[in-house]
Amino acid sequence: MSYKLSKKEIVAEILKSGKDPVYFINNYARISHPIDGLIPFKTYPYQADLLQDFNDYRFTVILKARQLGISTIAAAYVVWLMLFHRDKNILVMATKFKTASNLVKKVKAIMKNLPEWIIISEISIDNRSSFELSNGSQIQAASTSGDAGRSEALSLLVIDEAAHVENLDELWPGLYPTISTGGRVIALSTPKGVGNWFRKTYSGAEEGTNDFHPINLPWHAHPDRDQNWFDKETRNMSRREIAQELECNFNTSGESVIHPDDIAWVESLVCDPKYRTGFDRNMWIWEQYQVDSSYLLVADVARGDGADYSVFHIIKLETMEIVAEYQGKPSLDMYSTILQQAGKEYGNCLLVVENVGIGISVLEKLIDLQYPNLYYSIKGSHDFVDSYQGESNNSAVPGFTTSSKTRPLIVAKLEEFIRNKLIKIHSVRFSNELRTFIWLNGKPQAMRGYNDDLMMALAIACWVKDTALTVNKQDAEFKKACLNSIIKVDTKINTTIPGMQGYNRQEALDEKMFKAKEEHMKYSWLIKG
């Protein structure tokens, strides 16, 4: 459209642009292209639909692939909102101040490159990360690390790369009152796993449990992208990168410690327990005790601040199948009793309790209850000794010690067991923890606001099974072999050899049985357990 317009035509164009953001942007907005320089902004159909949705819905959450121009279309909408409306207060937030200020720069650039005659309100205050128009409308960039936006009423809140804002769950209750008087929200992001505000908000929008309007824009939303483009683009990308950057896949994206394919395998084994028992019905049982099986009970004790749970798994050692699981918040005394009873129900199985913090109190209670098969280890190592030796060895301590050094080792062992399908897990509570157990600052831990108690208990179980119990079994077999050799080389029975005078077969057998029993009693300490 020519800019040489009559006064009447100018007024008509201003009125038309003020009513329709799509018309305004397609006819008058210009953006900077990395190759072609300043070019007219011509929206694709999905971009035009977005502009209409911004107008039609107060709350919009956009799950998007990269390089679709969504941040740019949001910036163009902000230009329209500020230019044709008075006293609009707009805040752009992101996990990094640079990300937020870049969107503000896009808004400013579009504003400054409009035709002069359509700029009915000029920039009156211009700062690096904010500016204000003469009609009172203003925009500001802020990072989510502080209290920005909490004290002022907003007309529009734009949250850029919302899935990457780690503390947005905590910030949202403080941000919501700022838009409660009619303000709008645009939250846009690529996915990053499942345990964050963005995923919960988008899922809630799809389910209709919140006020957000969901929009899903994967890579093929762009009309110029086909399978050839996708194949070329993903040639050097990992599965996680493809899911995050192009496919809009929450489950496969993110930095989960356990690979998404392995998580999917675990989830395929999830089933309801046969029994839900206990005073709080939080003891889930898939298989009752079998007399011909061996079991391992591994427990993690809550810190005591009410934020996490006391948990345990009971594992059948022959198949490494979790046959029972508990997750609850009982008192320490009650939890000790629950552990004692559960261990007794499964044949007084080996009971491993993490001895960090108040776990020591639980162990002391179990000792008072005289539980017969507690896990002990030598100080400074995880060399396993049984209760009998542990009680008489000054170098032994009850329970399993988790530290900054051992934590990555036991987590790695759990990952190995799951990856190689060496363990069977049926609990939906556990599979939910898998999704939110991520690498954070180089350390394996739960996402903010989530728990990893079941994860860590099972990690200890895998470590104990593959190290302590395996070594102990090998040691027992070696001791039995030594004992057998002691009995076999005994040369005292030499007068009842067949063919010799006085030979009596039955007497010879009786004498050998007596000697064998005598030797076994003499060396029974070798094969205890």
Q: Tell me, what's the pLDDT at 309?
A: 92
> Does 331 or 486 have the greater pLDDT score?
331
Bigger pLDDT: 24 vs 303: 24
Confidence of residue 492 (pLDDT cuts 50, 70, 90): very low
Name residue 125's amino acid. Answer: I
Structure tokens at 157: 């809140």
**pLDDT tens-digit readout, 371-384:** 999 998 877 666 66
Q: Which residues pair with 23 in a beta bridge?
A: none
Q: Measured between alpha carbons, how far is 345 from 288 in angstroms, rounded to an integer? A: 9
Residue 471: predicted pLDDT: 47
Mean pLDDT over the full length of the chain: 85
- pLDDT tens figures, 243-265: 888 888 876 656 778 887 888 89
pTM beyond 0.75: the answer is no
pLDDT at 146: 59
Q: Taking CA 263 as the corner, what is the angle to CA 262 and CA 264, rounded to the nearest 5 degrees?
A: 90
The dihedral over CA atoms of 153, 155, 161, 162, expressed in degrees to the nearest 10, equals 50
Q: What is the pLDDT of residue 220?
A: 93
CB contact at 8 A, 254 and 438: yes
Beta carbons of 222 and 81 less than 8 angstroms apart: no
Banded model confidence at residue 484, pLDDT cuts 50, 70, 90:
low
**What is the structure's pLDDT at 489?**
45
SS3 384: strand
Does the pLDDT of residue 78 top 90, yes or no?
Answer: yes
Torsion of CA 161, 166, 170, 172, to 10 degrees: 0
The percent of residues above 70 in pLDDT, for the chain, comes to 81
b/e code 197-217 from CB counts within 10 Å (16+ = b): bbbbbbbebeeeebebebbeb
Residue of higher predicted confidence among 149 and 130: 130
In whole angstroms, what is the distance from residue 404 CA to residue 227 CA? 46
